[in-house]
Structure 1
């Protein structure tokens, strides 16, 4: 067996091993994370974004063990110098921390989205996707964090170790979609968690508010808890900036983003994933590619977009440089300037 297939089988073993706690919990309760009334996107057991349930474990096995055209990441991928943010910022300033992690400084508040400071996006410290560059802000240089925003429970977005460090240092408010609070409190009992449903609007200060919005995605911490916690995007409102932030999403038919753009747009900024999209037969349900991200930017009626979810952890088969290359080509094909949609790297910032 060659080294690549061996690593694939080891990775699958890690995935199955990580499901032990979830399986034990499910044996006690049908849904280990959330018990609540049924709704148009919760049937009493699992959540749904309105699409049929897509790929499963058999498809994961097919992808991981079949013939693959995988372009390996380098061991290190150089990033810009680390940012040194001010303690507070009166306007709006956003810094990319790497992959899907961002620091938002808005009207004196400090928010951090999907923070991952661990070396691996994995339930284990010794196996799983390893980061190839340092976070865009050193942990010690982070300003005091007022609130953490979690989009969903995948390991590259909900990193318990980082949340524990933030909780010990700052005791921030931790905001997340339904069910994810159970996951956090199981490891951090004193965390100030709160869980909300799609379309709920929260006030963070007299100048900053956010609303949870749907996305085309799913959730799981293991093999037996698929869709048992909710996932979301965030609409962030601050003086001088209305921002739509997506942690992960597929494109589907684009109708969700057409509706959001029509009903809640236009937006000053859309923060959109552009990586982890190959092979398309497997990834298209839940991860859009750069061409689709351009369509989402236009559907949202966003004045500008920032691209993330690439260049730090290799989760899929495309090489480290492919997302920005594909984004550049998609913008050219749409007759749009490159500055309209910037592929972010750790340490880069945007301000309004």
Structure 2
């Protein structure tokens, strides 16, 4: 069966508000992450440090020409790339996650739900096909190779997380896939001719039912006391500390988010793209976690863990963090990532947001090495708790 015909077998029959929306922090009702003029969003925490695009770009250029910047070596071998294997049957018992590079994961839930997170399959993460960061590891597959996509979840609008060519390919190959996006991103999809879109604000959640039957058939079956063949899920939009833009003129016009997905009795948290703390410029030898600094960290992750956790699996960014004084508000380093893992109450985690494009200064294989150091420092096993896998590799998690 082709990808498109498999996708056509199921579609979103019903989307409704979820009871999860009752589990929100008191201050979230104040919508402090909304700009007062109603034209965008912000990070409402002391852990955030606002930096202008000019400052970031000028600092990067200065570091490059002054010799202070590191030039990562992308010559092979770097991250192994395998052709992924996807399950053909929806009758699965385990939670299964496949890393497709950078922040893209394909997750197969028990009971049949299939979710694709932040898909970017283009050679460059850029508005241009001829300019911008180019892959140093190949995409392990293409959209046409994925047998079923029920839901696509987008964390934010940056080009390494939202790719127009990739989204159009999904539209063609999986026309009934339903997209979940943060607030104010829906218009972009509608402009692309995609209307199966639900946009949510932080702490919003929706219940979703997928069925092989029409909605009328589902209602008749329930009235007759029968159980129609359906897949149910709850999708939650949650905070993270980041920013959005697709041009120099629309910074923070659309919201950024992390996400939760619950289906088949399993719960997953997708971190999207996030920072944890704003770290000032320090000597390379100084530990930015030293008690003397006592830098504030983003409180949203502990709130997520307390109110929506625990999670069976977290997909957590570990890369694109150097230099720290520029990148730390937006991107977690592995020490931050381990704290996010603990705050959100994830039982297991997989790393992402590395291994695909050179976006920052750290060496391409540094994130997993530093992650092991961070786990050791916290007294957490280096293997089996917060893991790193090859691109195209899958990891299965049996029911507890």
Q: Same fold (TM over 0.5)?
A: yes
Shift of 1:191: 4.3
Alpha-carbon contact 1:82-1:138 (below 8 Å) kept: no
In structure 1, runs of 5+ residues without a counterpart are: 1-37
Aligned twin of 1:41: 33
Q: Go from structure 1 to structure 2 and tell me whether the alpha carbon gap of 1:238 and 1:73 turns closer, same or farther (over 3 Å shift).
A: farther
**Distance (whole Å) between structure 2 residues aligned to residue 345 and residue 228 of structure 1:** 35
Name which of 135, 140, 146 aligns with 2:139: 135
- For 1:273, the equivalent position in structure 2 comes to 317
Runs of 4+ with >4 A deviation = none
Which residue, out of 31, 44, 50, partners 1:50? 44
The structure with the larger Rg is 2
Aligned mates of 1:167, 1:273 — CA distance in 2: 27
**Does residue 213 in structure 1 map to residue 199 in structure 2?**
no
Q: Distance in 2 between matches of 1:286 and 1:327?
A: 18
2: distance between equivalents of 1:113 and 1:87? 19
Q: Cα distance 1:284–1:194, how it changes in 2: closer, same or farther (>3 A)?
A: same
Change (3 A) 1:203 1:237: same
The CA distance in 2 between the partners of 1:228 and 1:183, in whole Å, is 12
Q: Aligned in 2, Cα 1:202/1:305: closer, same or farther, shift over 3 Å?
A: same
Aligned to 1:25: none
The 1:88–1:41 alpha-carbon spacing in structure 2 relative to 1, beyond 3 Å, is farther
For structure 2, list consecutive stretches of 5 or more residues without a partner in the other structure. 1-29, 210-230, 278-296
1:53 deviates by 5.9
In structure 1, the residue matched to 2:82 is 81
2:187 is aligned to 182
**Inter-partner Cα distance in structure 2 for 1:267 and 1:108:** 19
Show CA shifts across 1:67-123 (max 9, x none). Answer: 232232415534242112023442321111000001111221221111001000100
Deviations 1:152-176 (A, max 9, x none): 0000000110000010111111110
State whether residues 79 and 137 of structure 2, in contact with CA within 8 Å, keep that contact through their aligned partners in structure 1.
yes
If asked which structure has higher relative contact order (CA below 8 Å, sep 6+), I would say 2
Aligned counterpart, 2:120: 116
Partner of 1:323: 367
| 2:253 paired with 1:248 | no
More displaced 10-residue stretch of structure 1: 323-332 or 70-79: 70-79
- Of the structure 1 ranges 269-278 and 75-84, higher mean CA displacement relative to structure 2 is found in 75-84
CA distance in 2, matches of 1:46, 1:177: 12
Residue 300 (structure 1) aligned to one of 331, 334, 344 = 344
Deviation (angstroms), 1:144: 2.1
CA RMSD of aligned residues (A): 1.7
Partner of 2:69: 69
* TM-score normalised by L of structure 2: 0.75
CA deviation string 1:323-349 (max 9, x = no partner):
011101111111111121112331121
